[in-house]
Amino acid sequence: MTTIGIDLGTTNSACGVWTKDGVKLIPNRLGEILTPSVISLDTNNELIVGRGARQRLINHSDRTVATFKRLMGTDHTIFLGRMGFNATELSSLVLRSLKEDAEAYLEEPVSSAVISVPAYFNDNQRQATRQAAELAGLKVERLINEPTAAAITYGLHQKQEGMFLILDFGGGTFDVSLLEYFDGVMEVHASAGDNHLGGEDFVDAMVANVLAQNQLSRDTISALDLQNLYLQMEGAKRKLGPGQTLTLTLGKKTIEFEVTQDWFIEVCTPLLLRAKTPIERALRDGKIPVSSIDDVILVGGSTRLAPFRSMVGRMFGRLPSCHIDPDTVVAMGAAIQAGLVMRDEALDDVVLTDVCPFTLGTAVANEPYDRDLSYLPIIERNCVVPISIVRRLFTASHNQSVVRVNVYQGESPDIKKNIFLGEIKVRVPKGPKGDEAVDVRYSYDANGILEVDVTVVSTGVNRQLVIERAPGALSDAEKQAARAKLAGLKFHPREGEENRMLVARAERLYESSLDHRREFVGKLLDHFHYALDRQLPHEIEQAQAYMKDMLNQMESENWF
């Protein structure tokens, strides 16, 4: 039985395993390390996960979904064809695919995993991630914060000691962690982040800007055109360099659009400025002088953006490091953590301490200003976990018979601006106000899961928090139903995956080309189908290689 480490990303996912000779990243069925977090359902209700699904994002956009990690912890439903899924279920499909890849690669069953989550994920989002793993048949040994995973990779793999500032800028989230590694201790000093800032936002801003320039709105152009525009902008973002001219189809008109660096910087500056806030907060909370930071480490695909690197360079007056592939460094860290959890002897002398990245508290009526409830922090952000803190609270009015403890997460003094996580009600004996007391205990464990427990001092009655309708959370019955629904979905047979991916890619190229280019792709497709129909393995292999070669030549930009 093996425990694997999984990086479940907004754009791409990856997994790895700890072996006797160190970390091993696990290739998927296409032989690639990165599996795009994209799900598509074909007309036979068979699932396509990864690159094949990503190819279908344009011409089957109503049956394909990407970037759903951003909906984790909410109850939004995405429809693929006629079937509705929430983000938890979609994530579980990606996890299931990764699990099967790992089983095929390791040739043994995989039943548990360490999964990385953005440090700034809240309790609901962490629970949703856990449930996704459960639905995929994986036991979650540990949820690890992504920057921490990256730091583990740098610290343990590269044997670097010292103070690191990790900037994890992924497809959907931006996380900052300040860590120190010494004598086998990996200590997180502070974490901060922005849950809704990532590479996808840059593309979003570019698309919005292009549409605004042409006086269009999202609703006035077709879904196909919009998806196309997204993919073109994504490509432009990745190739950003000396100006490039794109031909954009927007509804009825076709325009030539020049993507220049100045334009990109102008569009993205507000987003880049947002990235500064968490960096400053982490440094302030960690109480570490900037001069004692030994290295600034970049993690996540979005850190490849030149303007971001320049900004970091300016802020710290030095060049950040990124000598491990920023796309896989988190998966490697998760795999090392999996090894740690299994207590592999090679890792036995390493201890990891993490922090709770946000403040958890409750609402209280403070006399004499009890017009409104005010926020009472119980666990302050960036204190080391596991931690358990008790606060004694008293009844606020005469003859009060029930005490309600609301659980909030957030930093704002205004409780309405914090995230409501749940509530507990306990009965207390009636009496004059201030006579009865409850002990409220908040316990935050190393997985980032919060437990709240309320005890009435006089009667000893004890209640624990069960967050009843946390958005996106499933009850046991719902879990059963979801499991049944997902079990009914079959993955495409593994052998055909590569071929199907090529066909999808060619079809997309066919739709986006014109004239002789289109004709040529059509011929290629015919040739390929012919080879597939003849079912002679060596011929299929040849046809595959040829097809791949041709398609690569045709789209020299390989951003799918």
Kindly state the smallest distance separating residue 394's Cβ from other proteins, in Å.
26
Stretch that binds other proteins, among 100-108, 196-204, 357-365, 455-463 (CB under 8 A): 196-204
What stretch of H or E contains 356?
Answer: strand 351-356
Q: Which of residues 27-66 bind other proteins (CB under 8 A)?
A: 38, 57, 61-66
Size of the site for other proteins (CB under 8 A): 90
478 near other proteins, rule: CB under 8 A = no
Residue showing tokens 């459960």: 134
21 near other proteins, rule: CB under 8 A = no
Residue-level length of the chain: 560
Task: Work out whether strand 374-379 and strand 253-259 pair parallel, antiparallel, or are unpaired.
Answer: unpaired
Q: For residue 317, how many other CB atoms are within 10 A of its CB?
A: 7
Catalytic residue among 146, 180, 436, 507: 146
The residues pairing with 361 across neighbouring beta strands, listed in sequence order, are 377, 408
Q: Which of residues 315-354 bind other proteins (CB under 8 A)?
A: 315-319, 321-325, 349, 351-353
Distance CA 414, CA 409 (A): 11
Q: Which is nearer to other proteins, 346 or 540 (CB)?
A: 346
Distance of CA 196 to the CA centre of its chain: 10
Q: Which of residues 197-226 bind other proteins (CB under 8 A)?
A: 200, 204, 218
Q: Which of residues 226-245 bind other proteins (CB under 8 A)?
A: 227, 230, 240-242
417 part of the active site: no
Distance CA 25, CA 23 (A): 7
Kindly state the smallest distance separating residue 383's Cβ from other proteins, in Å.
9
7 part of the active site: yes
Distance CA 181, CA 193 (A): 21
* Residue 257 identity (one-letter amino acid): F
The DSSP 8-state label assigned to residue 366 in this structure reads: P
From the list 22, 109, 313, 496, which residue makes contact with other proteins (rule: CB under 8 A)? 313
Q: Which of residues 389-448 bind other proteins (CB under 8 A)?
A: 410, 417, 419-420, 445-446
Report the half-sphere exposure of 210 (CA within 13 A, side-chain side).
30
Report the half-sphere exposure of 400 (CA within 13 A, side-chain side).
18
SS3 504: helix
Stretch that binds other proteins, among 250-258, 311-319, 359-367, 398-406 (CB under 8 A): 311-319
507 part of the active site: no
Report the half-sphere exposure of 496 (CA within 13 A, side-chain side).
13
Q: Which is nearer to other proteins, 75 or 453 (CB)?
A: 75
368 near other proteins, rule: CB under 8 A = no
From the list 19, 74, 374, 512, which residue makes contact with other proteins (rule: CB under 8 A)? 74
Catalytic residue among 42, 168, 175, 497: 168
Q: Which is nearer to other proteins, 504 or 547 (CB)?
A: 504
Q: Which is nearer to other proteins, 208 or 465 (CB)?
A: 208
Distance CA 27, CA 23 (A): 13
From the list 213, 261, 458, 480, which residue makes contact with other proteins (rule: CB under 8 A)? 261
- Crossing angle of helices 537-554/515-534, nearest 10°? 160
349 part of the active site: no
Catalytic residues: 7, 69, 146, 168
